[in-house]
Amino acid sequence: MESAKESIYKVANIVGANNSILHQIHSNIVVKASSDLYFPEADAQVSNEYGVNLWVLTADCVPILFYDTESKIIGSCHAGWKGAFSGIIENTVHEMVKMGCKTDSIGAIIAPCIRQDSYEVGAEFYDKFIEESDAYKQFFKPKNEKYMFDLPGFVKAKLVKAGINNVHDSDIDTYTNANKWFSFRRFTHNPTEQYGSIVSFIRMDA
């Protein structure tokens, strides 16, 4: 059985060009992308270089691809609940602005991720969010003494608050689309099924 890194190199060879890949740790850390394969501990990257694929690996978390066609700056972001809660989205936008973007010219794409009807969480999870802000109640639906959490809705609200109003959502649920998308949560419910990561990337061409 090949390792995760071997699989990454295999996909990188298929994609071609230059690939910038992170060692994702559910943080709020943003780095400048490299034009070569490298694995810094971070969860978002930004770049103004042409021909570099900015990867994000997910299996339920929210992959966000950022672009600014005016300033010629792009970014990719891994937004699990921990990263989204601790500021990875705001930090990514901040780094793009530092490089010359204006927030009203930045667009964001939300690729396939787990959706609210598939994401059950407990009271402790719910309490953590509500302690931060009572407004976060809008992202939870009570169900059988648990809660269903709207992670992409939470992410979109964070994007809008950061000044990004041009947001395109794929509206695809990784959990319910077993024939097309990997899902870590689905795998934990059915360990016999195949498990892996989804690769999303954005590249700027001249």
pLDDT > 90 fraction of the chain, expressed in percent and rounded: 80
The torsion angles phi and psi of 60, rounded to 5 degrees, stand at 140, -40
Report the domain count for the chain.
2
- Token readout for 71 is 């300033």
Residues 136 and 170 in one domain: no
Burial of 199 (0-12, 13-18, 19+ CB in 10 A): buried
Query: How does pLDDT run across 40-95, given as a tens digit for each residue?
Result: 999 999 999 999 999 999 999 999 999 999 999 999 999 999 999 999 999 999 99
Residues 107 and 130 in one domain: no
Mean pLDDT of 156-181: 95
Tell me the average pLDDT of the chain.
93
pLDDT band with cut points at 50, 70 and 90 for residue 1? very low
Query: How does pLDDT run across 84-104, given as a tens digit for each residue?
Result: 999 999 999 999 999 999 999
Residues 120 and 28 in one domain: no
Residues 29 and 68 in one domain: yes
Residues 107 and 20 in one domain: yes
User: For residue 42, what is the domain's CATH number?
Assistant: 3.60.140.10
CA 71, CA 69: separation in Å to the nearest integer? 6
- Token readout for 57 is 């690996």
What pLDDT score does 201 carry?
96
Query: Which residue in 111, 138, 140, 110 sits closest to 125, CA to CA?
Result: 140
> How many helices (DSSP H) and strands (DSSP E) are in the chain?
6, 12
Residues 54 and 81 in one domain: yes
CA 133, CA 167: separation in Å to the nearest integer? 23
Mean pLDDT of 7-17: 71
Residues 27 and 123 in one domain: no
Helices 151-161, 88-98: axis angle to 10 degrees equals 30
Residues 122 and 197 in one domain: no
Residues 30 and 51 in one domain: yes
Residues 120 and 130 in one domain: yes
Residues 92 and 162 in one domain: yes
What pLDDT score does 3 carry?
57
Domain residues for the domain of 120 are 116-149
In contact, 65 and 76? CB cutoff 8 Å: yes
pLDDT band with cut points at 50, 70 and 90 for residue 2? low
CB atoms under 10 Å from CB of 187, counted, come to 17
pLDDT band with cut points at 50, 70 and 90 for residue 5? low
Residues 122 and 84 in one domain: no
More confident call, 64 vs 15: 64
pLDDT at residue 176 tops 90 = yes
